[in-house]
Structure 1
Amino acid sequence: MPPPSNAAPSDEFDDFDDALAGFRRDYAAQLPGKLDAIRTQLAECLAHPEDGTALTDLTRLLHKLAGSAGTFGFEALGQQAKSAELSCVALQDLAPRTGADLAGVARAIAALGGPD
């Protein structure tokens, strides 16, 4: 068991707040890449709407963004990603699926902003 800290409680909170702010900055720096990956996967889905694997991969990317965005303080982005994810889920069992069926997903992804 580690020895008790001699730091004042407010110092520990400051350290935690600083660390959290650093994690948030790091996450914000990764967001453009995450959004690019989602847009690239959407393009794959639009090019091959019948491909269930492409839609599953898009759903997974949106799910990860929906969960992580809120964790790092980007609640609105997380909610937007969740909405897009649910749009994908609604299409999973649709067959045959066409590009027109993906229009709602495309709009939801277009609405994804960056850091809020």
Structure 2
Amino acid sequence: MTAEDRPAAASFPEKFAALAQAWRAQLPQRLHEAQHRLQALRADPSDGASLQELHRILHTLAGSAGTFGMPDVSIAAKAAEHECDRLMDSPHRAAGDFEDVTGLVDALVRATEA
């Protein structure tokens, strides 16, 4: 096969656009998972694994949303992540302790719809 026969390699902008499209396609599932973790935490506030997973989801969204052109989503995810940080530091959590993070995740979902 000669160089003329090989398909042209995708440019960086093309590769980045494909990554951004794939990230946006996965966003609804990530938000659903965050909401699912919140439901689990309201049912069992001591569920440390769900809190850590929620924190991981929010942290990932906070970092990647800005990269893929959604700064409002990044800001909303970061606010929810910080609230999770606060809750992770609390040894005794009650279901009501998750009201603030629930509101912040709701704001995050709204930010993705804008």
Aligned counterpart in structure 1 of residue 49 of structure 2, from 43, 49, 53:
53
- TM-score where L is the length of structure 1: 0.80
Q: Give the whole-Å Cα distance in 2 for the aligned partners of 1:17 and 1:54.
A: 36
Aligned counterpart in structure 2 of residue 36 of structure 1, from 32, 35, 41:
32
> Could you say what the CA RMSD is over the residues aligned between the two structures, in angstroms?
1.9
Shift of 1:30: 0.9
Shifted more, 71-80 versus 103-112: the winner is 71-80
Q: Write out the 4+ residue segments of structure 1 that deviate beyond 4 Å after TM superposition.
A: none
- Unaligned residue ranges in structure 1 (runs of 5+): 1-13
Tell me, what secondary structure is at the counterpart of 1:111?
Answer: helix
Q: Give the whole-Å Cα distance in 2 for the aligned partners of 1:60 and 1:26.
A: 19
Answer yes or no: is the 8 Å Cα contact 1:59–1:85 preserved in 2: yes
| Aligned residue number for residue 7 of structure 2 | none
* Count, aligned residues: 104
Q: Give the whole-Å Cα distance in 1 for the aligned partners of 2:42 and 2:33.
A: 14
Aligned counterpart in structure 2 of residue 73 of structure 1, from 69, 73, 97:
69
Alignment-mate amino acid for residue 75 of structure 1 = P
CA offsets 1:59-102 (integer angstroms, 9 cap, x no match): 11111111111122211101110100000101112132111111
| Aligned residue number for residue 107 of structure 1 | 103
Tell me, what secondary structure is at the counterpart of 2:112?
Answer: coil
CA offsets 1:10-59 (integer angstroms, 9 cap, x no match): xxxx9332322222111111111111111111111111112222211211
Q: Give the whole-Å Cα distance in 2 for the aligned partners of 1:115 and 1:68.
A: 17
Q: Give the whole-Å Cα distance in 2 for the aligned partners of 1:115 and 1:15.
A: 29
Q: Give the whole-Å Cα distance in 1 for the aligned partners of 2:50 and 2:12.
A: 40
- TM-score where L is the length of structure 2: 0.81
